[in-house]
Structure 1
Amino acid sequence: MKQFRFRHRLCRNAAIVLAAALLAGCASTKGPAPTSFDFGPVAAPVTPTPAAASYPALIVADVSGPATLDTDRMFYRLAYANAQQALPYAYNRWAATPLQLLSQRLKARIAQGGVKVLSISDATGGLPVLRLEMDEFSQNFASATESTAHISLRASLFRGHQLVDQRTFTRSAPAPSADAAGGASALAATSDAIAADLLAWLATLPPR
């Protein structure tokens, strides 16, 4: 009798292990392959802007921001359901963190505007420093089929240890599709718009 119970328990445990293995196999084969996104290639250089005349060389610090933007996970918000909850895409990731992507994009666009961009590590005495802090970077769904990208960025220009000026830039762009790919495209376009705003703002500030 004891031998029978032992064999029964052994068979039952083996069946459980086999079922778990089959479920894991199904999950790994049925789930879509992970997809990563970035902002895409930077468009051809534009005509140098008036900012280049005021600030021919500029130290541009990397964009800082909250910990939620220092991850490669892609988030979205359902404004029509619960705008206070950020939800992650299950099978989509950023190729780098949003802070890194925006840092690279803004530096490239500022350089295209004719300004020589230097990093903090390359800093030399007397050059102005542009510090950037991102407050919002999101894809918000107004409905199940319509979403918009939003970016809010605070820029501070310092000369020495003196604040020259500070400005907050906010931009939005509609997503071409209601998914991660559409959000990535809209956020890239919004980043380019923010860069144009930055160059226009720098052109209004007093030269060194």
Structure 2
Amino acid sequence: MKLIAARACPARAKAGFLSIFLLLGGCALPLPDKPVRPQPYDLGPALALAADAAPSGPALALGRVEAPAAIDGSHIVYRLMYTDAGQQPRPYAQARWTMAPPQLLSQRLREAFSATRPVVEPGAGLAPIELRTEIDEFAQIFSSPGASEGVVRLRVTVTAPASRTQRLLGQRTFTVRQPAPTADAAGGVAALRAASDEAVRQIVAWVNGLTVSN
């Protein structure tokens, strides 16, 4: 019995030493990298859209900008038009909008129109005209691996909701393209910012030129 116990002791000691070695070795292994958070982007300050004059036009009811599901999210979308699958929208993995494009453009339109007229919520009966906007395109479009542009296409409908039967005052599609300074997410965002600002300028000018009669 003593012989068997004596033989078992070195085995237990060897197993204990191996366990300690593995434990110490495990402590020396590199820890996994922390997950990289996507870089957040927005449309930047809208100071350039503000007018010097005080609001003077009739009140405008401005609803939320609408968009299809592919656009109504935080992904920054691009399309590779030089491939067979060019029509397929692709999201950048490490870049996100701080808000979905419909929210960003709703905010942009409200800021711009507020410089020329009072802006109210739709359905309250406080405005003689109402603006509805839909996004048809809001993406970075690549014509080649090194060349791209930001494309914003908005369909705008203006109605007179206070009339006995809601009257259409005008409908128009605005398409603006701006070249991207770089072929990446940051370049796409810069191009979409410039295209959004120009589209908003055009929309404000068009709406302000419409004749509203009771």
Structure 2 length as normaliser, TM-score? 0.76
Residue among 58, 78, 81 paired with 1:79: 81
Q: Which residue of 2 aligns with 1:152?
A: 153
* 1:47-84, Cα deviation, whole Å (9 max, x unpaired): 349xx65x421001110010111111111111111311
List gaps (5 residues or longer) in structure 1: 1-21
- Partner of 2:92, secondary structure, is strand
Residue 109 of structure 1 contacts residue 192 of structure 1 at CA under 8 Å; is this kept in 2? no
- 2:131 paired with 1:127: no
Q: Which residue of 2 aligns with 1:179?
A: 184
Q: Which residue of 2 aligns with 1:98?
A: 101
* 1:137-185, Cα deviation, whole Å (9 max, x unpaired): 1101112222101111111111121111111111111112211111111
Residue 61 of structure 2 contacts residue 127 of structure 2 at CA under 8 Å; is this kept in 1? no
* 1:10-61, Cα deviation, whole Å (9 max, x unpaired): xxxxxxxxxxxx89x64x44x6432111001112522349xx65x4210011
What are the equivalent positions in structure 2 for 1:135-146 lying under 5 Å apart?
A: 135-146=136-147
Residue 65 of structure 1 contacts residue 135 of structure 1 at CA under 8 Å; is this kept in 2? yes
Question: Which one-letter code corresponds to 2:149 in the other structure?
Answer: T
Higher relative contact order (Cα pairs below 8 Å, separated by 6+ residues): 1
Q: Which has the larger radius of gyration?
A: 2
Residue 106 of structure 1 contacts residue 192 of structure 1 at CA under 8 Å; is this kept in 2? no
**Structure 1 position 88, deviation (Å):** 1.1
Residue 106 of structure 1 contacts residue 191 of structure 1 at CA under 8 Å; is this kept in 2? no
CA distance in 1, matches of 2:168, 2:187: 38
* 1:170-205, Cα deviation, whole Å (9 max, x unpaired): 111111221111111111111111111112212331
- 2:108 paired with 1:108: no
Q: Which residue of 2 aligns with 1:38?
A: 42
Residue 139 of structure 1 contacts residue 147 of structure 1 at CA under 8 Å; is this kept in 2? yes
Question: Which one-letter code corresponds to 2:120 in the other structure?
Answer: L
Residue 75 of structure 1 contacts residue 88 of structure 1 at CA under 8 Å; is this kept in 2? yes
Q: Which residue of 2 aligns with 1:7?
A: none
* 1:108-139, Cα deviation, whole Å (9 max, x unpaired): 11222x12111226x22552111111111110
CA distance in 1, matches of 2:189, 2:58: 31
Residue 110 of structure 1 contacts residue 195 of structure 1 at CA under 8 Å; is this kept in 2? no
Question: Which one-letter code corresponds to 1:128 in the other structure?
Answer: I
Identity between Structure 1 and Structure 2 (%): 39
List gaps (5 residues or longer) in structure 2: 1-28
Question: Which one-letter code corresponds to 1:104 in the other structure?
Answer: Q
Structure 1 length as normaliser, TM-score? 0.78
Cα root mean square deviation, aligned:
2.4
- Partner of 1:129, secondary structure, is strand
Moved segments of 4+, more than 3 Å: none
Q: Which residue of 1 aligns with 2:197?
A: 192
Residue 37 of structure 1 contacts residue 94 of structure 1 at CA under 8 Å; is this kept in 2? yes
Q: Which residue of 1 aligns with 2:19?
A: none
